[in-house]
Every structure is written in structure tokens, then in C-alpha cells.
Chain A
Amino acid sequence: MNPTTPPARWWPAVLLALAATAPLPAALTAGGTAYTKRLETNLLAEPAALAATVGRLPAGRPVQIAEVRGAWLRVSDGSAAGWVFAGNLSETKPAEGKGLGAMGLSASATTATAAARPLSPAADDYAARRNLTQARDDLNWLLAQCRAFTPAAVDSFLKEQKKGEYQ
């Protein structure tokens, strides 16, 4: 055996890892499976953004697609059912997990406060060492500006522009 070849005892783990990456069946079609990707996904009574909310699903929840109507899907997780804009679902199970923010963030961390957070201490230190004080000021300005772009502001923009689920 090549001295750099992994020992045989590792192969089962490798095969498991490979199996885990196998593509899922095509989703976002009737009969397929999709996954919620927002911290909270509303199930609506009708395929329209302003329809009544009939249920809520947490992030990463698999749902079965019963019907497709344009960009809207009627889905069910077994206990709750309703319409969801396709853009709010993922064809594959979200894989980023807790390590990368999206699925592991608490609700409070998704607010504009999170977007407007101060520069990380490590970056502050880096800016000082690399004489990037002007860039640091600019970045702090950007982070502060982001305070205005709350999820509600984005939602208003979507409505006004007739984008996303408001199309």
C-alpha cells in the first residue's frame, strides 16, 4: 500500500461521507421533498403573500410537495399544511448548520442589530496592524448604515417593487 494511502479502517467512514453527499431526488415538483430554510416559514391559506397564516415551520423541516401553482407550492410536513413561496424552500437539506450562522442564529441575531454589529476585535486589531484605519472607519460606517435595512424594510421593498412572494 502506498504509505500515504489511508488505512483500510477509514474506508467505511469515507464511504459514509460520500453517501451523505449523494444528490437528493428532484424537488420543488409535486410529489417531491423540499426543506424550510428560514428560521420560521409561514404556511399560508392561499398561494398569495398576504393570505392568512395557517401554520409555521422551523428551519430545516422536510415537507412534501402536494401541488405546484406557479411559484407557489402547497406543502405538508405531516402535521401542518399550507402554501409557501418556492423561494422560501430549499431543494436540499440546509447543510450549513450551526457553524455558519444561517440555521443556528437565534431570532435576535437576525435583526438589523446583527447587521449593524461592531467590527470584530480580531479585525480591529488587524486594521491597526495593517494601517487600515480609513478602511476600518468605512467598514464601521457600512455596518452602522445597515441598521436601516431591517427585515421589515426589505419586506416593504419587496411589496413596493412586487418582488419575491409579492410578484
Chain B
Amino acid sequence: MSPRLIFLLFAAGLATSAFAFDLGGLSKALGNADQLKKGLSTAQDAAKLVSGLGPEEERSLGDTVALEIIGRFGGLVRDEAAMRRLNLIGGALARYSARPDHPWRFGLLNSDTINAFSAPDGYVFITRGLYQITTDDDQLAGILGHEMAHITGRDALRIIETGEKGSVLMKQVAMRSGNTREAEAYLNQVGLNTEKIVKFLVDQGYSHPTEFAADHTGQDLAATTGYAPGGLRAALLRLQQIPAGPQKVFSTHPPLAERIKRLSAEPLSAPAARAGQSTGSSAGNPGLTTASAADAVEKPASSEVNDDDRAFAEAAEKKPAKKKR
């Protein structure tokens, strides 16, 4: 990708953080391959191009990433009580999130690994290992809130839109048209890139600043919804007490101690927290027996993160303006 286009993508990305663009216009821009081939002549054109993946693209990507996560973490636990609890607590949080009217979906992964993941288009997954360790709704709300913050913050989509390699995908989206052959080529390209995106999300995770921001946003969201502001911190403290073993605890997240330290130092800005109206609750974990933390053992996963992946992640999360051109 040319440095010129990267620059334009960055400029447009900034612009789109504050403005919404007409989707019809965007679709038109995306379908105009000639425009891309000839190069983008103005920042306005670039803004239209990268004003955000459209609903269909986000939906397809979200489904695909969700498939990979489910496939890699033992499938879903088909437990209706747990599903109900997850989706009602998650739905309550969603009501006061930055995307209150979006359809959110919360799933329980059948894995002893202790982790949680999010995928575009409102997918949030928590592993059975982590679910069973949480002792009440406040802790669960804190964990779900953290993952939801990645979605409302568009953290994964930002990787695609601004990441250097992700921008290759963006370019493919831009060149997409109604032509069946091109659509097939697009699907293939999505497939290839999805692997990379999933590998990043599942094996490596976001940068520490992005994770700390999600902790803060998730904590605020939980407090606004009425869950104890300290729920996430309590969950992290509980995880910290897990005896050292082969299991990986939040392996895609920053060190627990650092997260705990930052959460305790951060002032609560949520209205309910300010008003002292947050409540605690202890609903337990319906539908599943609680396993001891020591039982949680991570399944061997393809967690090798090579230099190429690290460069991808760094490029994706770093502001393009800071890139050398």
C-alpha cells in the first residue's frame, strides 16, 4: 500500500471519529474500483472510503471471527441457564453502552482456559474456566463490560481499517463490486485475512493501552448499569490468587497486577458510581458447577506469535501518522 494512501486513510480515520457519513455514498465509493486504481485525489474521497466498514462487512467479519473463536475454544456450552444469565447481564450493560440498540450476543466457550474475547458486530465470549471462577454478577459484569468496550471502541475494526496489512483487506473491500468473480475473490481475501485477524485477537490481544482503556470503560459501564464498580477488579484479584500452574490466565491481556493497580487508581466517572447508587449482587453461576481455579488448565493452542504478527499488531494499533513513510 502506498504511503500516500496510508496517509489518506489516517486523515480520513480521524475525520470519521467525529462525523458519520452517508452509507449510500460510502457503498458507491466502495464499489468504484476505478477511483482506487487512479488513486485518491482528495482527503474527502479517502474519508468516504474508510468511513468505516459497513454493517454487512462488520456482520460478515464478526460472524467469521466468532466461528474461529468458537472453533478454537472447544465450541459453545449449550447451557440455557448460563446463556440466559450471560445475555441478560450483557443485555443490561448493552442498554447503556455506546451501542444500545445493537443486537449483542454473549456466548460461553467450552474451554478451561481463563479468558474472554470479543468479535465485531457485538459478539462477546467468555470461557467456561473464567465463568466458573467469577463469584457474582458484579465480577461477570466487569468482565463483559471490558470486552464490550473493545466493540464499542471499534478496536478490532480499527485494526482492519488502519492496520497496514488490514488496509489490504480494506482495499479489497473498496474494490468489491456486484461482479460474482470479484465477490468470490473478496471472500477468499476475507478468509485469508480473517485468519490473521483472529490470530491477533485470540493469540496476542490488543496493546496494553487499549486494554487499560477497555478496563476503564468497562468499569464505568458496569457502574452505570448498577453493578459494583469494583467488580472487574475483584475478578482480577481472584484470578491473581490462582496458584501458578500450566494454565494461562488472561494470556491475551496485560499483567493482572498492572490492571488491578490501574483500576484501583482510576476515579469512577460513571453517574451511578458518583451518586453512590451502585449495588452488589451475588447470583452465582447457574447451570454450571463451580470448578476450583486450580482446575483451570489451558488447552494447548496455536499460540505462536511470530515477528510478522507482532509487526501487524503494532502497525494496527499505532497511529499511522507515526509510521515512517
Residue B248 lies at the interface, judged by CB distance under 8 Å to chain A: no
Provide the residues of chain B in CB contact with A14, threshold 8 Å: 11, 14, 43
Interface residues as binary, B70-114 with A (CB distance below 8 Å gives 1, 0 otherwise): 110001101010011001100110111011111111010000000
Provide the residues of chain B in CB contact with A163, threshold 8 Å: 92, 225-227, 279
- A154 to chain B: closest residue by CB: B91
The answer to whether A20 touches B18, judged by C-beta atoms less than 8 angstroms apart, is yes
Residue A97 lies at the interface, judged by CB distance under 8 Å to chain B: yes
The answer to whether A149 touches B91, judged by C-beta atoms less than 8 angstroms apart, is yes
The answer to whether B105 touches A146, judged by C-beta atoms less than 8 angstroms apart, is yes
The answer to whether B271 touches A70, judged by C-beta atoms less than 8 angstroms apart, is yes
- From B3, B14, B75, B95, A135 is in contact (CB under 8 Å) with B75
Query: Within B150-196, which residues are at the interface with A (CB < 8 Å)?
Result: 154, 157, 187, 190-191, 194
Residue B15 lies at the interface, judged by CB distance under 8 Å to chain A: yes
Residue A53 lies at the interface, judged by CB distance under 8 Å to chain B: no
The answer to whether B105 touches A154, judged by C-beta atoms less than 8 angstroms apart, is no
Residue B26 lies at the interface, judged by CB distance under 8 Å to chain A: yes
The answer to whether A162 touches B71, judged by C-beta atoms less than 8 angstroms apart, is no
- From B56, B63, B80, B96, A87 is in contact (CB under 8 Å) with B96
Known contacts A94-B98, A96-B20, A139-B66, A122 near B60 by CB under 8 Å: yes
Known contacts A70-B271, A100-B53, A163-B227, A145 near B80 by CB under 8 Å: yes
Cβ distance A107 to chain B, nearest Cβ, rounded Å: 8
**Please, how many angstroms separate the alpha-carbon atoms of A134 and B71 in the complex?**
8
Residue B7 lies at the interface, judged by CB distance under 8 Å to chain A: yes
**Please, how many angstroms separate the alpha-carbon atoms of A28 and B272 in the complex?**
12
Query: Within B44-64, which residues are at the interface with A (CB < 8 Å)?
Result: 44, 47, 51-56, 58-60, 63-64
The answer to whether B14 touches A18, judged by C-beta atoms less than 8 angstroms apart, is yes
- B226 to chain A: closest residue by CB: A163
Known contacts A96-B98, A161-B281, A71 near B19 by CB under 8 Å: no
The answer to whether A17 touches B101, judged by C-beta atoms less than 8 angstroms apart, is no
The answer to whether B103 touches A146, judged by C-beta atoms less than 8 angstroms apart, is yes
The answer to whether B18 touches A21, judged by C-beta atoms less than 8 angstroms apart, is yes
- A28 to chain B: closest residue by CB: B271
Residue A143 lies at the interface, judged by CB distance under 8 Å to chain B: yes
Provide the residues of chain B in CB contact with A154, threshold 8 Å: 88, 91-92, 94-95
**Please, how many angstroms separate the alpha-carbon atoms of A93 and B191 in the complex?**
34
The answer to whether B63 touches A120, judged by C-beta atoms less than 8 angstroms apart, is yes
Interface residues as binary, A86-106 with B (CB distance below 8 Å gives 1, 0 otherwise): 111010011111111111110
**Please, how many angstroms separate the alpha-carbon atoms of A31 and B277 in the complex?**
23
**Please, how many angstroms separate the alpha-carbon atoms of A163 and B68 in the complex?**
34
Provide the residues of chain A in CB contact with B32, threshold 8 Å: none
The answer to whether A87 touches B224, judged by C-beta atoms less than 8 angstroms apart, is yes
Residue A132 lies at the interface, judged by CB distance under 8 Å to chain B: yes
Residue B244 lies at the interface, judged by CB distance under 8 Å to chain A: no
The answer to whether A88 touches B92, judged by C-beta atoms less than 8 angstroms apart, is no
Provide the residues of chain A in CB contact with B59, threshold 8 Å: 120
The answer to whether B67 touches A123, judged by C-beta atoms less than 8 angstroms apart, is yes
Provide the residues of chain A in CB contact with B104, threshold 8 Å: 115
**Please, how many angstroms separate the alpha-carbon atoms of A166 and B226 in the complex?**
9
Provide the residues of chain A in CB contact with B11, threshold 8 Å: 10, 13-14, 17
The answer to whether B272 touches A87, judged by C-beta atoms less than 8 angstroms apart, is yes
Residue B263 lies at the interface, judged by CB distance under 8 Å to chain A: no
Interface residues as binary, B1-40 with A (CB distance below 8 Å gives 1, 0 otherwise): 0011001100110111111111100100000000000000
**Please, how many angstroms separate the alpha-carbon atoms of A123 and B194 in the complex?**
10
- From A93, A96, A139, A161, B63 is in contact (CB under 8 Å) with A139
Residue A4 lies at the interface, judged by CB distance under 8 Å to chain B: yes
The answer to whether A101 touches B105, judged by C-beta atoms less than 8 angstroms apart, is no
Residue B302 lies at the interface, judged by CB distance under 8 Å to chain A: no
**Please, how many angstroms separate the alpha-carbon atoms of A61 and B91 in the complex?**
23
Query: Within A126-167, which residues are at the interface with B (CB < 8 Å)?
Result: 126-127, 129-130, 132, 134-136, 138-139, 141-143, 145-146, 148-149, 153-154, 157-158, 161-164, 166-167
5 closest A-B pairs by CB: A97-B20, A123-B63, A13-B43, A4-B325, A87-B96
- 14 residue pairs A–B, Cβ–Cβ below 8 Å: A28-B271, A94-B98, A99-B53, A100-B52, A102-B102, A115-B105, A120-B64, A122-B187, A129-B191, A132-B68, A139-B66, A145-B80, A146-B105, A162-B279
Given contacts A122-B64, A157-B92, 8 further A-B contacts (CB under 8 A): A97-B52, A99-B54, A102-B102, A122-B187, A135-B67, A138-B70, A142-B83, A167-B279
